[in-house]
Structure 1
Amino acid sequence: MIIVTSAAGHTGSIIVKYLVDKGYPVTATDINPKVADLPGIQDSIVGDLTDLSVQHKVIDAADVLVYIPPLFSAEEALIGKSLIDLAAAKPLQQFVFVSVTHPILSSLLQHIAKRDVEEHLIYTGMSTQLPYTILQPMHYMHNFDPNQVKKTGEYQIFYSLDGRVAYVDPLDVSEVVEKVIADPKKHNKATYELVGTQPYTPKQLVTMFNAYTGLNAKASYISPDQFLDQIGAQDLYFRAGFHQLADSYSQWGLDGNPNVLTMLLGRKPHSFEDYLKRELG
């Protein structure tokens, strides 16, 4: 059984659908009860991964764990390390950690946590021979919602309109997850950086959107606090992490190299234009 965590989120639900469509038996787990409604799954586990009993339930049910960390959780590093320890003690057939590009960056709280989890996974893999693969996706394309931009005529973003960020299509990440699961020996103890595009500013994203749709949408800056209030995020750690993200993207952006993803896919990664065509028709 393959268990996917954070399965009710954007990335998790896309990975679950991809694996289900490929015929894999999937159990989806999330703190959100809506995870039980994901089509095609064999089972669901609703629970908070900060609860050790929930972690035991997840690991007991798993042969393969696709671990997607919860978003901006103050306990993210503790959750990941505990799951790794339980996975090694079982032992699991395979531990796939969906991390982030450049976890070494100290300007981003969520990167620091993933760096610590990666380190623990590598040490554990060496000491126990727990089979693992680390995937490091770039900023996901679904963070730009073309249907919302089409509806409102505006792309509101919480970092500088000149901040340059690269992207990856979550479908490409899903395809890599499936390839890793299908051949665990080949990908054991590998770390793969998954970058799909060159870096784009919010202005450039909207320019490509307008070129495809014939519309005249605009990119506009809103403060991180405005954005967080709009999505109802009141958790202090979440808000602090988001401020760091906004500051880091504004000052440095985020980018990388698509060679590894191209090699894994055996083709060029999907472009931003490909994503727009798929989402808008």
Structure 2
Amino acid sequence: MPEKRKVLAIGAAGHFAGLVLPELAKRGAYVRGFIQKDADREAVLQHGARETAVGDLRDPASVEAALQGMDALFYIAPAFIADEGAVGRQVVDAAVRAGVRRIVFSSVIHPTLGTLVNHREKGPVEEAIFKSNVEYTILQPAMFFQNFAQGWAEVVKSGTYGEPWSAETRFSRVDYRDVAEVAAMALTEDRLLYGTFELCSEGNLNRHDVAALMGKVLGRNIRAGTVDLDKTGGGKDAPPPPIRTMMDWYNHHGLLGSALTLRAILGREPRTLEAYFEELKATDA
């Protein structure tokens, strides 16, 4: 691959692919951001893209057109997109037709979990990449720290952190900024080629542990609560079937991994959840 990598970042306007853009820019990559609407163009350029391509992920022709002239592809699927496996396979096929030489796919921890559609649908995409004969790196991150941001204001207001599954279930988590750093390494260097990497920070916490950590950062007691999905009232507020299935799984099983791989790749300790909560607290100041 040429010294200055040309990378198409799919979902460049999203919360997570958007974190990859500045990491690529730091490494001198030329980034084209794939976006759904032109209104996102300026924000994507400010995050480090040099240009944008507007298209529809479900339209292979627009994806292939955006891939023209690119050396590499970063792909993360939108959360709970319908037919995720089929869409992802189309993206891989488009990359092959466009002559892309490298794909970095942000998958998920434990993609073999057939019970969870958002895990199960990653498997066909990984398989398509393996069959494509292109260079690849597969990233399998744990739950993202960034998922806490949406409910932070309510935690501060109510003094309770609630989720719609058992408070005893333990999870590994990761700051997606660390994942983004690994993705940029994989797109611009060769040392991670043909690797499949489970990416987690240190610690397997249940909700009691998370609430205690929030309380430590906020300097007051935070309770671990439980959200009742049956009280959402149905209709447009009712959780879709994949979400309910996921909640049912989490009532009995966690998603656990090791920080060893992420620590080794970064050459430093991964970001901590406590530090992330400190950042959230600072935004309220």
> Is 66-75 or 4-13 further displaced after alignment?
4-13
Question: 2:178 aligned with 1:172, yes or no?
Answer: yes
Normalized per residue, the structure richer in helix is 1
Structure 2 distance, partners of 1:227, 1:172, is: 34
Offset of 1:68 from its aligned partner? 0.4
Question: 2:223 aligned with 1:218, yes or no?
Answer: yes
Q: Which residue of 2 aligns with 1:241?
A: 242
Structure 2 distance, partners of 1:47, 1:228, is: 36
Structure 2 distance, partners of 1:123, 1:67, is: 16
Counting aligned pairs with the same residue, the percent is 28
Offset of 1:142 from its aligned partner? 0.8
Helix, strand or coil for the counterpart of 2:251?
A: helix
Helix, strand or coil for the counterpart of 1:187?
A: coil
* 1:12-161 correspondence runs (5 A): 12-31=17-36, 35-36=40-41, 37-38=43-44, 39=46, 40-60=48-68, 62-125=70-133, 130-145=134-149, 147-148=152-153, 149-161=155-167
> Is 42-51 or 108-117 further displaced after alignment?
42-51
1:59·1:83 contact (CA, 8 Å) conserved in 2? no
Q: Which residue of 1 aligns with 2:3?
A: none
**What letter is aligned with 2:140?**
Q
* Structure 1: 5+ residue stretches without partners: none
Query: Can you list the C-alpha shifts for 1:86-141, whole angstroms capped at 9, x where unaligned?
Result: 2223321311000001101112101111011111211222xxxx111111111001
Query: Can you list the C-alpha shifts for 1:193-247, whole angstroms capped at 9, x where unaligned?
Result: 11113221122111101111103333322234667989x678xxx8222112211
Q: Which residue of 2 aligns with 1:277?
A: 278
Structure 2 distance, partners of 1:32, 1:225, is: 36
Question: 2:8 aligned with 1:3, yes or no?
Answer: yes
Offset of 1:7 from its aligned partner? 2.4
Structure 2 distance, partners of 1:266, 1:201, is: 27
State the TM-score, normalized to the length of structure 2: 0.86
1:159·1:224 contact (CA, 8 Å) conserved in 2? no
Structure 2 distance, partners of 1:253, 1:166, is: 8
Structure 1 distance, partners of 2:63, 2:237, is: 25
Query: Can you list the C-alpha shifts for 1:2-52, whole angstroms capped at 9, x where unaligned?
Result: 221122222122222332344432222233655322313222233321122
Structure 1 distance, partners of 2:106, 2:233, is: 24
Helix, strand or coil for the counterpart of 1:263?
A: helix
Helix, strand or coil for the counterpart of 1:50?
A: coil
> Is 96-105 or 200-209 further displaced after alignment?
200-209
Q: Which residue of 2 aligns with 1:256?
A: 257
Number of aligned positions between the proteins: 272
**What letter is aligned with 1:77?**
G
